[in-house]
Amino acid sequence: MKFTTISIIIAVVLIGGALLLTRSNGAANNVTIIDGKQIVDITAKGRYSPRVSLAKADVPTTLRVETNGTFDCTAGLTIPAINYRANLPPSGVTEIEIPSQKPGTTLQGLCVMGMYNFKVKFN
Ligand SMILES: [Cu+2]
């Protein structure tokens, strides 16, 4: 009985700590590299998520923007630095090719009105 209680307490502390850590460093697990190509996944619905993505510099990158019943203005996406502007479909995945970026570059994506945004930081 005592051992069970202690085990539960330890489990709660570990899980809580892990959750706090993932929250505090702010880095979402949405960047993958497959065959030397980097993929950054963003969802657009009511807002862009995650707000900040940490990506590798000097790697050709595909931004995959997923919409799922998105009828708000986040579907009107612009990425000024690469002259990108498009109306995303209400549901689907839109792939946007981004040339490799220099370390320290931050790309910003915005809704057409500039209310919502996301950033991809390259390092
Ligand atoms: Cu907007």
- With respect to residue 18, please indicate whether it lies within any of the assigned structural domains: no
Number of domains in the chain: 1
Gap from CA of 115 to ligand 1 centroid (Å): 5
Residue 34 lies in domain: 28-122
Residue-wise pLDDT for 1-60, tens only, equals 666 665 655 565 555 555 554 444 455 799 999 998 999 999 999 999 999 999 999 999
Gap from CA of 75 to ligand 1 centroid (Å): 9
- With respect to residue 67, please indicate whether it lies within any of the assigned structural domains: yes
Gap from CA of 25 to ligand 1 centroid (Å): 27
pLDDT at 120 exceeding the cut of 70: yes
- With respect to residue 4, please indicate whether it lies within any of the assigned structural domains: no
At residue 64, the pLDDT reads: 98
Contacts of 9 (CB under 8 A, 6+ apart): none
- Please tell me the pTM assigned to this model: 0.77
Residue whose entry in the numeric block shows the structure tokens 């931004």: 63
Contacts of 65 (CB under 8 A, 6+ apart): 42, 43, 44, 77, 88, 93, 94, 96, 109
Gap from CA of 22 to ligand 1 centroid (Å): 28
Gap from CA of 47 to ligand 1 centroid (Å): 9
Gap from CA of 27 to ligand 1 centroid (Å): 24
Gap from CA of 46 to ligand 1 centroid (Å): 9
Residue-wise pLDDT for 60-107, tens only, equals 999 999 999 999 999 999 999 999 999 999 999 999 999 999 999 999
Gap from CA of 97 to ligand 1 centroid (Å): 22
- With respect to residue 15, please indicate whether it lies within any of the assigned structural domains: no
Q: Is 60 helix (H, G, I), strand (E, B) or coil?
A: coil
Provide the CATH number for the domain around residue 94. Answer: 2.60.40.420
Kindly state the helix (H) or strand (E) to which residue 16 belongs, with its residue range: helix 2-25
